[in-house]
Structure 1
Amino acid sequence: MGFADLSIADIAAEYRLAVSDVMQICTRLDITYRDEGTNLALEDAKAVMLEILGRAQDPAEGDCARARPC
């Protein structure tokens, strides 16, 4: 499995989320990480981003709807 050049902090910044929110998603998806600087495997990064985008499209998620990339 290849690695994306995206860390947890990079994903948080891209989607304007708190780093802790992205870490919670990683934990929920059973993605292993050490800290916010951890570069994610390509499939893991895709899974996290899909989760964020799915939450952004669901109006029932409230504040998560702001998690759209600019």
Structure 2
Amino acid sequence: MSKYWDPSDYTIEDQLREMVNGRDVATSGNDVLKEDSNGDVSIYWPSDSDRGHGHAVIHGDDSYDIIHY
């Protein structure tokens, strides 16, 4: 995936493709949540960053990391 990605462009087809490949995925408005195989949940939201989105990870121990805005 390129570094630029706007979660607003995430389609139901994208979600189904990821689900078929074994990922749990949910969307809420323009936000996308993806569960990783290790139990972490990545959250992506639209932003004005050079990547077109913000990204945070919530870990199973309730800690979190903001990867970028």
Please, what TM-score do these two structures have when normalized by structure 1? 0.28
Higher relative contact order (CA 8 A, sep 6+): 1
Please, what TM-score do these two structures have when normalized by structure 2? 0.29
Q: Pick the structure with more strand per residue.
A: 2
Q: Pick the structure with more helix per residue.
A: 1
